[in-house]
Amino acid sequence: MNNGKYSQEIQDRICDLIIEDTYTIREICRIVEISEVTYYGWLKQGIKFFNAIKDAKQEARDQLAALAKNSLRKLIEGSEVVETKEKLRFNTETKQYYTSEKEQTTKTFRPDTTAVIFALTNVDSENFKNRQQQSVEVTNKDALSFEDIEGAMEGLDNEAIKALIQTAAKIKKIAKK
């Protein structure tokens, strides 16, 4: 254990691990041999340490955003990948393996429609709207009053009232979704 002694070297190592973005704070503390209590104590007490950690977290977010943008671009554009397979043979005289054949295959990945829609709805939302996200807004001027409903129901027979109740139940189910 490091006994909680702060050093620039430990700070740099912690920041590097945060930027890698593969470890939890608990794992980072174990790697650099400090307790979590020490880590959070340094965060509270040391403005230099606090700012270094804050900058490292921002760097990790920036790297993730860049990776996401590049991945989205590949999905939008489509891509080709050349795959190479080598066949190995064993030479009984030299007792070593050697490459006997190389086979190359080109795989084509077409643009992903979902990625294209995602990009268009987020980059140019004025012209490209995701129809699934649109909703209907009902205002008071569109609503019926109790008196309107009561007046419309006055002339209905029992069968029509039953049909109306069934329709209302269906509407209620749809509204819950």
pLDDT of 1 higher than 60: no
- From the list 67, 45, 53, the residue with the least C-alpha distance to 18 is 53
Distance CA 64, CA 77 (A): 20
Q: Is residue 161 a contact partner of residue 153, using CB atoms and an 8 Å limit?
A: yes
- From the list 46, 49, 41, the residue with the least C-alpha distance to 18 is 49
Distance CA 154, CA 166 (A): 18
| pLDDT (tens digit per residue) in 54-85 | 999 999 999 998 888 888 888 888 888 899 99
- pLDDT tier, 132 (very low <50, low <70, confident <90, very high otherwise): low
- pLDDT tier, 140 (very low <50, low <70, confident <90, very high otherwise): low
Across the range 7-36, mean pLDDT stands at: 95
pLDDT of 129 higher than 80: no
pLDDT of 17 higher than 90: yes
pLDDT of 109 higher than 90: no
